[in-house]
Amino acid sequence: MSSAVIPTAPAVDPAFPNVWDELVWRGLVHVSTDADALRDLLGGDPITYYCGFDPTAPSLHLGNLVQLLTMRRLQLAGHRALGLVGGSTGLVGDPRPSAERTLNERETVEEWVGSLRAQVERFLSFEGDNAARMVNNLDWTAPLSAIDFLREIGKHYRVGTMLKKDAVAARLNSEAGISYTEFSYQILQGMDYLELYRQYGCVLQTGGSDQWGNLTSGTDLIHRVEGVSVHAIGTPLITNSDGTKFGKSEGNAIWLDAAMCSPYRMYQFWLNTDDADVISRLKVFTFLPRLEIEEYKRLVEVEPFRREAQRRLAAEVTAFVHGADAATAVIAASDALFGQGDLTALDAEVLRSALEELPHAEVSLETTVAQALVATGLTSSLGEARRAIAQGGVSLDGARIDDEGAFVTGGLPGGVSVLRRGKKTLAGLFVARA
């Protein structure tokens, strides 16, 4: 059994005199308002900052994790976090590059607001002098009439400027065009920043760089209405070194909700990080200090086959998202599946979730191992399955199978079995009992 995972405690890196310098070193600043002013701001007395999350799905995903970690880093430096879940903006949706969003029912959005709020709360601290606070923009948007909205907020926006925003311009040039609903999104987000400035003295907003037009909507509005300069930081969109989209595994998004993406699947996603990407991932997604990350960089260069950096990355992020116990359990499952641990000692739920990520089949106790090889796709025919068994290349739950007539057992925790052909080709069997 693997030893317990002890994740790195979230902390600012003492190697940096200013959290701004750490954000820059970690590659978290793609675009921003005045950099010198921001460095002075973040190196001075505590400020209030915010990041917003729209309930367009029942869970946050890895792209949102970049923002959550950025928020936590700023809070650890002494600043005050506002986590905004968009009960009103979630009813509208920001413009996607390709086509109009499908509007969700109000009841659905309300339910998702609760789910996202609970997720955001896991990543921030709500204790101490700089305790975080959660807010919902529906609180100040719902009471506002359309006339008041147009008079008090809309009059400060110029259509020409709004049309130049990247998200809007892309849609205007597409066949889908853009509705007034989504065109108005930037005004709503700008109003959020203004409201948070007035209520809490908020002077910084963070978000993805693809949201830069919406971020500056707020800074421009506050400057126009209040006559003060506030700030925004746009984090980079994370991509793989080969240019492919980050945050998906075999076409499926990596969600932060364990019910939508198991801890085992998350762990495997990070474990499969390419050597060319792993150091930048350690910078963005962990709290490892610079000295440790530089050592991992050296290990990647001299001993890439050990994949030490990937193992540390996978353990750290899985523990941060799902907890140290979950990370320990999935690492034990991963090790045991590949012959480095005891399969019978694994947690049943973790084992089942791990097998669901492998080729798998539902079988009965009357199914032979040869039939199971075909059902899971480990062989293409019964003849090939029998030959593989005769050659000694098949095992069930860690024991070699010599008899082509042997039956599956489902003897592991949760009534499952692990079928192996050769050293590395695995499949899961979910064994139904009468």
The answer to whether position 107 is within a domain reads: yes
Taking CB atoms within 8 Å and a gap of at least 24, the contacts of 410-414 are: 410/365, 411/344, 412/343, 412/344, 412/346, 412/351, 413/344, 413/346, 413/347, 413/348, 413/351, 414/348, 414/349, 414/351, 414/352
The low-confidence residues of the chain, meaning pLDDT below 50, are 1
Domain boundary among 172, 201, 235: 235
DSSP assigned state of 245: B
Residue 281 lies in a domain: yes
Residue 353 lies in a domain: no
pLDDT score for 423: 83
List beta partners, residue 430.
362, 416
Residue 1: its pLDDT value, please? Answer: 43
The answer to whether residue 3 is domain-embedded is: no
| Residue pair 72/13 in contact by the 8 Å Cβ criterion | no
User: What per-residue confidence (pLDDT) applies to 251?
Assistant: 66
> Which residues touch 216 (CB under 8 Å, ≥6 apart)?
33, 232
* C-alpha pair distances (Å), 178 with each of 94, 171, 183: 11, 6, 7
Q: Are residues 74 and 121 in the same domain?
A: yes
Q: Is 152 inside a domain boundary? A: yes
Within 10 angstroms of residue 241's Cβ, the number of other Cβ atoms is 12
| Cα–Cα dist 374/386, whole Å | 10
d(CA 158, CA 168): 14
What angle (nearest 5°) sits at the alpha carbon of residue 45, between those of residues 37 and 202?
Answer: 70
CATH number at residue 203: 3.40.50.620
Which amino acid is located at 190 in the chain? G
Assigned token pair, 217: 């909507």
User: What are the Cα distances from residue 275, in Å, to 28, 77, 304, 305, 378?
Assistant: 20, 31, 7, 10, 29
For residue 161, the surrounding DSSP H or E stretch is helix 159-164
What pLDDT was estimated at residue 31? Answer: 98
Do 295 and 219 belong to one domain? no
Range of the domain at 379: 358-432
Residue 256 sits in the same domain as residue 290:
yes
The string of DSSP codes covering 117-153 is HHHHHHHS---STT--EEEETHHHHTT--HHHHHHHT
Taking the C-alpha atoms of residue 196 and residue 193, their distance in angstroms, rounded to an integer, is 5
Supply the pLDDT for residue 162: 85
Residues 252 and 231 in one domain: no
By the 8 A CB rule, do 69 and 233 touch? no
Does 164 lie in the same domain as 143?
yes
Helices (DSSP H) in 201-347: which residue ranges?
212-226, 263-271, 275-285, 290-302, 308-322, 324-337
Task: List, in sequence order, every residue forming a beta bridge with 32; answer none if it has no partner.
Answer: 233
CATH for 275? 1.10.240.10
366 with 396, same domain: the answer is yes
Q: How many domains does the chain have?
A: 3
Report how far residue 334's alpha carbon sits from residue 315's, in angstroms, rounded to the nearest whole number: 12
Express each pLDDT in 335-384 by its tens digit: 999 878 899 999 999 999 999 999 999 999 999 999 999 999 999 999 99
Same domain for 297 and 225: no
In a domain? residue 348: no
Locus of tokens 């739920």 = 349
Query: Of 176, 209, 235, which closes a domain?
Result: 235
Q: Is 291 exposed, middle or buried (0-12, 13-18, 19+ CB in 10 A)?
A: exposed
Alpha-carbon distance values, 266 to 56, 196, 240, 255 (Å): 21, 34, 17, 8
Q: Does 210 reside within a domain?
A: yes
* Residues 311 and 386 placed together within one structural domain of the fold: no
DSSP state of 343: G
Q: Are residues 223 and 310 in the same domain?
A: no
Is 11 contained in some domain?
no
Q: Could you tell me if 34 and 173 lie in one domain? A: yes
Helices 275-285, 290-302: inter-axial angle, 10-degree rounding: 170
Q: Based on the fold, state whether residues 138 and 68 are members of the same structural domain.
A: yes
Residues 338, 363 share a domain: no
CATH number at residue 386: 3.10.290.10
Last residue of one domain, picked from the residues 178, 204, 235 = 235
